Structure 1
Amino acid sequence: MALIPGILAKARTASLPRILIVGGGAGGLQLATRLGSTLGRRGQAHIVLVDRLPTHFWKPLLHEAASGHRDPASHTIEYAAQAKRYGFEFVQGELKSVDRARRVATIGAVLDNDGTQIVPQREVPYHDLVLAVGSVTNFFNVPGAARHALPLEHVGHAEDFRKRFLAACAKINHLADAPGAPLVRPVCINVIGAGATGVELAAALRHAVGQLAAYRFRALDPDRDVQIRLIEGTARVLPVLDPRISARTRAQLERLHIEVLTDTRVASVEEDAIVTSTGAVLPADMTIWAAGVAGPAMLRTIEGLALSASNQVIVTDTLQTPDDPHVFAFGDCAACPAGGSSRYLPPRAQVAHQQAVYLSQAFARRIAGKPVAGFVFRDSGTVVSLGESGALYQADLRVRDRSVIVDGLAASGLYRLLYRKHLLGVHGTRHTLLQTLGQFLQRYNRPSIKLH
């Protein structure tokens, strides 16, 4: 009896090598898209992407979502739609365990908002497993930090912070608007960690307060009623960048009336205060932690997986684990050697992007029986946005042994191009142009900040 087309297609797919990508972040989604549109479409491999959420949001934009400057609903990508368009399969669920001997990954059940099970726990076999599970907030065991400080790992965290921020501004606006109102203590927002995320968030929040005052909270004095404090344990903001860019950034932050505290280590985080290592008590209505990342705890459940001190998967220059050539890791969750040195590449979006491109080519070469060279990272520079105050860009071109620093309109343009580059990697030229046009037109129909 002849097989019906659906059964025939399933039989053909089952015979192909299955590349299972866990994590649909910037790197994972791009890798699945590239492999699906090449190996998947050509019938050379079955590409499967797993993520616990149904949609993707580019993580470097989370500070804009948290401040209300970017509506996540207009910038998410639905994994199922992306899978249909580019020839891969999407499986929703969280990675629970990996049986490397059987080459099987266990994917957790999918639940609705009230905890009712929608899809049960499943086992998904693989030929090659690619871990792209990103990173989580590293609280460095600071007492109270995990309980009282908000992380900024995904859209849910950004929305939670934005709503609390909006409510705090509404409350103090009401108090300031009352007849004969006395001066009240300002809303105190503490951002712990003055790396790129912390700096960008602090600047975005200061601009957001001014916009909220202009649109909605007319009694709110942005400088008097909202205090934004940026706390850094090292000697300067943006400590991994050139000291010149750190100095310029700090000066700009202080012009925005953001209090910058360097050489200030957090000893504990309380519900309404931060206690420093010197015993100083800093008032806090909201505290957000942007001081470091680590690999997700679930990586420790994979037996035999070598992990770094930051709980990242240790990989070789081919992004494979040293003792299992069928397990790969890249992006924030991977400890990848930096140019043959003892250091690891930093958790940055451009690292994940380049590794996704590399892996898409490496898998194609492996299937074709060709040799695969090691991954080489090429730093294209770092750009830090200060919102309406512009941006700063650093490139380590080492002209006269110094980094090249660009600011003004050129740096702002480079910052905007980063997101478009990400969209090109997952959408291609036509869809990116259409989406860019749609977002450009929306700017004229909506306020510059989310007001509810």
Structure 2
Amino acid sequence: MRRQGGNELERKTQIVVVGGGAGGLELVRRLGARYGRKRHDIILLEKNRTHIWKPLLHEVAAGSLDANLDEVGYRSHCHRWGYRYFLGTLESVDRARQQVIIAPLLDEDGSEIIARHTIRYDYLVIAIGSISNDFGTPGVAENCMRLDDRTGADRFRNRLLDHCLRVSREMTEDPSCDAHVRIVIVGGGATGVELAAELYNAAAALKYYGLEVFDESRLQITLIEAGPRILPALPERLAEAAQAELEALGVRVLTNVRVTEAAPHVIVTESGERIEGDLLVWAAGVKASPVLANLDLETNRINQLVVKETLQTTRDPRIFAMGDCCSCMLPGRTAPVPPRAQAAHQMARTVFDNLVRDMNGKPLKPFVYHDHGSLVSLSRFSTVGSLMGSLVGGRMAIEGRLARLVYTSLYRMHLVAIHGWLKGSALILVGQVNRIVRPRLKLH
């Protein structure tokens, strides 16, 4: 692009966002809507081709949600909002040259499609989210499944359906047999609890899809939590209510139990108990990707990038980090901002504002975190949580229909954040229709 009245080439300001999760996708939408492609080049680097909201992965895993209908294709989204999408994985960053190094892109057979290459940046935003933390427990990587992304959720669903089919066949051949699908979930946080409840909802619907003799009574689910109670982010009364609901469904809930090893189809506890399972799921703790520890930026013990109040990394003001992959300790707080979707959305707005401010030569503003509370969905059986903030005058425990309404609204707010009000509202309406016309389960 040339400046008016001259021949000197003008270089576009290039902003590279690594990670197309809740925060990253909202940020590139805002930047694209603000600047377009005239004087700015907004680039999203993402290892996946489509986006699905991470809090929904337990529904994808259980088959209650068809991700093919709810996912967002990055290529169509970038065309709509004026940014560019590159398929690739962050390998490292050359801060001196202000370049992002992208790992070679391989196909399913391991053949190289695109060689290792670089993208320059004027500003870099890292928003690659988090992965499960196995705390170095032996055997977890080899024997446990995780719900960190859609690939993991799809893998779990396929294996779940295989085991349900096996049990259904055994019971058809011998009605007196006592066959079960045994599932062991390690981690009593939101992911583990929501998955356990959603599995019972899905199992109850399988009889309508050809497995006539299979129902929720054929599930044996064990939920293991190392802490004194499940759902530590919620008030104790709500955590107890959630546990009572799970136990009423048939879940065996174990608290104050530490896992020391994962073997094939077996979880071993500190007491020596061996809990057998056809499917083992690890949903305990989070950490950032190990790649962040090799960027010559300050990180904490779980690889999160340490950021200042402005969400700039401590060693490079041109590099921002947000969401689960950053550690942000705000003044007056005793713990960093928690890794939640609401924090990622709030950080996206602050990073957007600060990028605009910095490009206009204005001082950057500090990030202010507003904790709106926590909500946990126990599928169609119940929803529990707590709301915080000026709206409710502090903290209010909620459950039942009100909690379910608020929980549903969180996803609707996410749709508006990444699509804008017009398309977001249309998708909300389509979603309501799809609840009626869609099959209850995704079985393929």
Q: TM-score, normalised by structure 1?
A: 0.93
- Deviation per residue, 1:160-182 (Å, 9 max, x gap): 0000001101100100111x444
Q: 1:150 to 1:94 in 2, by over 3 A?
A: same
Hey, what does 2:312 align to over in structure 1?
A: 320
Matched positions, count: 441
**Is the Cα–Cα contact under 8 Å of residues 339 and 376 in structure 1 kept in the other structure?**
no
1:396: Cα distance to partner?
Answer: 3.4
Q: Does 1:247 align with 2:243?
A: no
Letter in 1 for 2:258: R
Alignment of 1:27-426 (within 5 A): 27-40=23-36, 43-178=38-173, 180-223=174-217, 225-302=218-295, 304-397=296-389, 403-426=395-418
1:19: Cα distance to partner?
Answer: 1.1
Distance 2:26 2:422 in 1: 16
**Secondary structure at 1:444 match in 2:** helix
- Deviation per residue, 1:413-444 (Å, 9 max, x gap): 11111111111001012212222233333333
- Deviation per residue, 1:161-211 (Å, 9 max, x gap): 000001101100100111x44423422101110101111011001111111
Structure 1, 124-133 or 11-20: larger mean CA deviation: 11-20
- Deviation per residue, 1:50-79 (Å, 9 max, x gap): 001111111110000000010110011111
**Secondary structure at 2:380 match in 1:** helix
**Is the Cα–Cα contact under 8 Å of residues 194 and 237 in structure 1 kept in the other structure?**
yes
1:398: Cα distance to partner?
Answer: 9.7
**Is the Cα–Cα contact under 8 Å of residues 242 and 403 in structure 1 kept in the other structure?**
no
1:288: Cα distance to partner?
Answer: 0.6
Distance 1:277 1:402 in 2: 40
Distance 2:267 2:386 in 1: 32
Q: 1:90 to 1:398 in 2, by over 3 A?
A: closer
What's the C-alpha RMSD, in Å, of the aligned pairs?
Answer: 2.1
Letter in 1 for 2:118: E
Distance 2:342 2:391 in 1: 22
Letter in 1 for 2:249: L
Letter in 1 for 2:250: H
- Deviation per residue, 1:249-287 (Å, 9 max, x gap): 111111111111111111111112111100111111101
**Is the Cα–Cα contact under 8 Å of residues 197 and 378 in structure 2 kept in the other structure?**
yes
**Is the Cα–Cα contact under 8 Å of residues 250 and 260 in structure 1 kept in the other structure?**
yes
1:345: Cα distance to partner?
Answer: 1.0
Letter in 2 for 1:50: L
- Deviation per residue, 1:77-96 (Å, 9 max, x gap): 11111111111111111011
**Secondary structure at 2:343 match in 1:** helix
**Is the Cα–Cα contact under 8 Å of residues 198 and 379 in structure 2 kept in the other structure?**
yes
Distance 1:398 1:241 in 2: 18
Distance 1:98 1:114 in 2: 27
**Is the Cα–Cα contact under 8 Å of residues 32 and 81 in structure 2 kept in the other structure?**
yes
Q: 1:210 to 1:388 in 2, by over 3 A?
A: same
**Is the Cα–Cα contact under 8 Å of residues 305 and 313 in structure 1 kept in the other structure?**
yes
Distance 1:402 1:22 in 2: 35
Q: TM-score, normalised by structure 2?
A: 0.95
Distance 1:258 1:142 in 2: 24
Distance 2:392 2:214 in 1: 49
Structure 1, 385-394 or 107-116: larger mean CA deviation: 107-116
Q: 1:33 to 1:13 in 2, by over 3 A?
A: farther
Letter in 2 for 1:220: F
Q: 1:88 to 1:402 in 2, by over 3 A?
A: closer
Letter in 1 for 2:16: L
Distance 2:172 2:43 in 1: 56
| Aligned-pair identity (%) | 37
Hey, what does 1:439 align to over in structure 2?
A: 431
Letter in 2 for 1:55: T
Structure 1, 153-162 or 365-374: larger mean CA deviation: 365-374
